[in-house]
């Protein structure tokens, strides 16, 4: 659990200490416990160790491009804001593995470096090119690169299709994540009701 300020720690901890464990990743339960403005998730968290990685069989030409490559940015734009945000591709810090068709990037995967040598994997396929195994191809290349760099690949997924890609590559689901944005005005009243600042 993380919160954006020291003042939020006490009230949030007091609420979570009394909550059943499964409520911590239940959006409805969380909204009943805290003054939540917005919820993202829940999503599964999966990881893969080098010995468990199941690379995709070669079948597509994979290129590497910089995170700010114009063709990669065009893929983000074509996917729409909801898919682009869900994928996380716009936040990668490492080169992206991409598949091109007719010069256009139709699938991409890369990672964002997180603390603890964690490579947070990000994958996006153009909506018109989905269902053909391209996500698995680019993700396999990106995961192999992260492992070669000594990083621990992490896969966060809500959509079943994304979870299936991760499982096909050997990722094991080990937890669940729920992110919430607390309403600052309502939280101040909430904290005051608890007798804290």
Task: Give the model confidence (pLDDT) of 53-93 as tens digits.
Answer: 999 988 788 999 999 999 999 999 998 888 888 889 999 99
Backbone φ and ψ for 40, nearest 5 degrees, come out as: -125, 120
Q: What is the mean pLDDT of the chain?
A: 88
Given a cut of 90, is residue 181 above it in pLDDT? no
3-state secondary structure of 180: strand
pLDDT at 186: 81
In this structure, the answer to whether residues 68 and 115 fall within a common structural domain is yes
Instruction: Please give the Cα distance from 62 to 11 (Å, whole number).
Output: 49
Q: Does residue 154 sit within a domain?
A: yes
Q: Which residue has the higher pLDDT, 15 or 66?
A: 66
Q: Rounded to two decimals, what is the model's pTM?
A: 0.80
pLDDT at 25: 78
In this structure, the answer to whether residues 23 and 109 fall within a common structural domain is no
The alpha carbon of 112 is separated from its chain's Cα centroid by a whole number of angstroms, namely 9
Q: Does residue 103 sit within a domain?
A: yes
Q: Which residues share a beta bridge with 112? A: 120
In this structure, the answer to whether residues 29 and 71 fall within a common structural domain is no
Helices 6-18, 184-193: inter-axial angle, 10-degree rounding:
60
The percent of residues above 70 in pLDDT, for the chain, comes to 96
| Residue 190 CB coordination number (10 Å) | 19
Q: Which residue has the higher pLDDT, 192 or 137?
A: 137
Q: How many domains does the chain have?
A: 2
Cα four-point dihedral sign 15, 194, 2, 85: positive
Given a cut of 80, is residue 185 above it in pLDDT? no
* Per-residue pLDDT band at 195 (split at 50, 70, 90): low
Given a cut of 80, is residue 2 above it in pLDDT? no
Given a cut of 80, is residue 169 above it in pLDDT? yes
pLDDT at 55: 96
In this structure, the answer to whether residues 17 and 90 fall within a common structural domain is no
Instruction: Please give the Cα distance from 109 to 123 (Å, whole number).
Output: 4
In this structure, the answer to whether residues 27 and 89 fall within a common structural domain is no
In this structure, the answer to whether residues 136 and 160 fall within a common structural domain is yes
In this structure, the answer to whether residues 85 and 149 fall within a common structural domain is yes
Domain boundaries, position 160: 49-170
pLDDT at 194: 67
Stated as kind and residue range, the H or E segment containing 128 is: none
Closest by CA to 1, choosing from 180, 194, 196, is 180
CATH of the domain at 56: 3.40.630.30
In this structure, the answer to whether residues 148 and 119 fall within a common structural domain is yes
Which of 4-8, 105-109, 174-178 shows the lowest per-residue confidence on average (mean pLDDT)? 4-8
In this structure, the answer to whether residues 55 and 121 fall within a common structural domain is yes
125 touches 137 (CB < 8 A): no
Bin 191: left if φ > 0, else alpha if -120 < ψ < 50, else beta: alpha
Q: Does residue 1 sit within a domain?
A: no
In this structure, the answer to whether residues 62 and 102 fall within a common structural domain is yes
3-state secondary structure of 47: strand
């Amino acid at each position: 659990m993380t919160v954006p300020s020291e003042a939020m720690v006490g009230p949030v901890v007091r609420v979570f200490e009394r909550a059943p464990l499964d409520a911590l990743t239940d959006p409805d339960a969380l909204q009943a416990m805290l003054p939540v403005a917005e919820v993202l998730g829940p999503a599964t968290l999966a990881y893969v160790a080098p010995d468990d990685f199941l690379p995709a069989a070669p079948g597509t030409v994979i290129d590497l491009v910089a995170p700010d490559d114009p063709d990669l940015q065009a893929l983000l734009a074509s996917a729409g804001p909801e898919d682009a945000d869900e994928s996380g591709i716009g936040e990668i810090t490492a080169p992206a593995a991409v598949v091109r068709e007719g010069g256009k990037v139709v699938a991409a995967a890369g990672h964002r470096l997180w603390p603890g040598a964690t490579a947070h994997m990000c994958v996006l396929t153009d909506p018109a090119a989905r269902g053909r195994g391209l996500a698995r191809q680019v993700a396999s290349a990106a995961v192999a690169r992260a492992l070669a760099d000594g990083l621990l690949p992490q896969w966060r997924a809500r959509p079943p299709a994304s979870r299936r890609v991760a499982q096909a590559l050997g990722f094991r689901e080990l937890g669940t994540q729920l992110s919430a944005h607390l309403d600052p005005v309502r939280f101040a009243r909430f904290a005051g009701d608890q007798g804290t600042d």
